[in-house]
Structure 1
Amino acid sequence: MARFYIGYIEISAAMAGKLQSKHGITPDEVREACHRYIQAGWHHHELHGKRLLVVGETRAGRKLKVILQPVDVTDGTWRLRTALVATN
């Protein structure tokens, strides 16, 4: 399995609000799950292009699926596109 460096995740105020109200997820949980990821791989979306699909767990054991857009992969900078609680 390839390892990805996730150093910094850009999360806009609008995205943070949407995650909290729609999915009950905080930006801190997203960052925890991405820094403690179980698996990650490139996902090619027809409309949105190349994105990283990350599955990880928070310290509290909550499993999340996160989609990150590359900003500067070498630098480890990503932009959050969405996140939801993993059901499996």
Structure 2
Amino acid sequence: MDTEMFHADAEEMGWQDRALCAQTDPEAFFPEKGGSTREAKRVCLTCEVRDECLEYALAHDERFGIWGGLSERERRKVKKRAV
């Protein structure tokens, strides 16, 4: 494995170690269809890595869950506006 590539990936993902969602119930961030996203979004509001999380989700086309305080539908809208 290319150690430079591994280091870059680890650096890119370092924000996840500081994410508040890693310290809470993961099911809140992946609710059942029609389930509430309120709890997850409340956690995201005070998370220091919210921006990095959202950037990651947008860059990697995450289709499920709450990332950076936004649902998949909300992230789609953000992507459309950016085009």
Instruction: Give the alignment's TM-score, normalised by structure 2.
Output: 0.28
The structure whose RCO (Cα within 8 Å, separation 6+) is larger is 1
Identify the structure with the greater strand proportion.
1
| Structure with the greater alpha carbon radius of gyration | 2
Instruction: Give the alignment's TM-score, normalised by structure 1.
Output: 0.27
Identify the structure with the greater helix proportion.
2
